[in-house]
Amino acid sequence: MGWVEDVRDFLFVLLQSIWAVCTSVFWAIVPQPLKSVKGKVVLITGTGSGLGRLLAVKFAQLDAVIVLVDVQEVKNNETFETIKNMDRKAFAYTCDVSNENQVENLAAKVFREVGKVDIIINNAGILPGKPFLELSNSQIRKTLEVNTLAHFWMIRKFLPHMLERGEGHIVAVASIAGILGSSYLVDYCASKYAVVGMMSALREELYETGKEELINLTVICPSTMNTGLVQKPKTRFPKILPVLDVDQVSDIAVKAVLTNKPLVVIPTVAHVIFKIANLFPVQVPLKLQRFFEYSLDPNVK
């Protein structure tokens, strides 16, 4: 009877998969309902500039209570003043999220001064942009600490409280570099691949423990943005793999959170192309990726 159960379970999974495809197509045509974040506490790291600052402002526009976290106090306070001038509520904290002790102190302050956190957006990141052999040991270590380990420290401090309440949302800002390797980004790609894998594994662990329905997980994977993090990006076909406008990315990221999307790759067309390419021998996606010449110039400081 074992094989009968296996066939039955396989058919059930097949039906679920077909339903998931149909649902995805439906929501691609029909506007998805957006959840409300009014009065919700949204904690965002790396809010001193770039994508983090825009995410903070846009969630504030939706009447969320914003917790701003950045290692650069002056820039973070500028974001705080911007939200304050919007007549919205925000709290600003200076913290190096790569340091687990500082994250522990941050969590204690937030719980004491703000209260529960509904949504965490792990956005802080760095990018040295050097050839692998020119990276110092300290640079490699710092990239992994900021881009990867910080996610661990933040989630470990805030996830337990979400589980206790039976709801929460964790967002990881990764990168298309967490899906495709790129020259002169060896340390950066490693850190972003790790984040994508971490979130995937965390989803499975929540499923195994019967808590997947309680916590929403979202991974955002944009290609290069015009934030200045990459000084001179290279792309042979900017229509397919463009240098993205950070304001546009922030809009897509906010919508992804409001619709509980598990994964968003920006631009979508690039993800589709490489997904199809990966159905073929490994040389095919590699040759395709090299054809697109999407990288950076390591000589530009």
pTM tops 0.95: no
Supply the DSSP string of 255-299, one letter for each residue.
HHHHTT-SEEEESHHHHHHHHHHTTS-THHHHHHHHHHT-EE-TT
Of 170 and 286, the structure prediction assigns the larger pLDDT to: 170
Q: What is the mean pLDDT of the chain?
A: 90
The question of whether 193 is a catalytic residue gets the answer no
Q: Where are the domains of the chain?
A: 35-296
CATH 3.40.50.300 fits 35-296, yes or no: no
The per-residue pLDDT for range 207-233, each reduced to its tens digit, is 999 999 999 999 999 988 887 776 667
Considering the candidates 188, 193, 207, 294, report the single residue annotated as catalytic. Answer: 188
pLDDT digits (tens, 9 = 90+) for 72-87: 999 999 999 999 999 9
Confidence of residue 239 (pLDDT cuts 50, 70, 90): confident
Looking at residues 254-273, what average pLDDT do you find? 90
